[in-house]
Amino acid sequence: MFVRLQGDRLIEIARAPGLTNHRIGDRFISAAVRTCDGIAEVILPDAAWQRLVAVRLDGTRIITRDAGPFRGANGLSGVTIC
């Protein structure tokens, strides 16, 4: 889910099913933000914890693409190049 701070409230901009960034019991968030071709994107696991997904926001639309296999506790090893 992408949100915007408006005053003192978070307002939802867009939502994409099938993605996650945390498992109950983990002491960390399995996600990262990077810039790819000048555009910010979030890298996070799919809900099955099998693949990493690059997520971009284009206005109010979410664009996703496969970013490689999920390998390891930090959730980011195996990320493909932009």
Lookup: tokens for 79: 């990320």
Please state, for a pLDDT cut of 70, what percent of the chain lies above it: 90
The predicted model scores a pTM of 0.81
When pLDDT is averaged across residues 7-30 and rounded to a whole number, the result is: 91
Between CA 66 and CA 47 the distance in angstroms is: 13
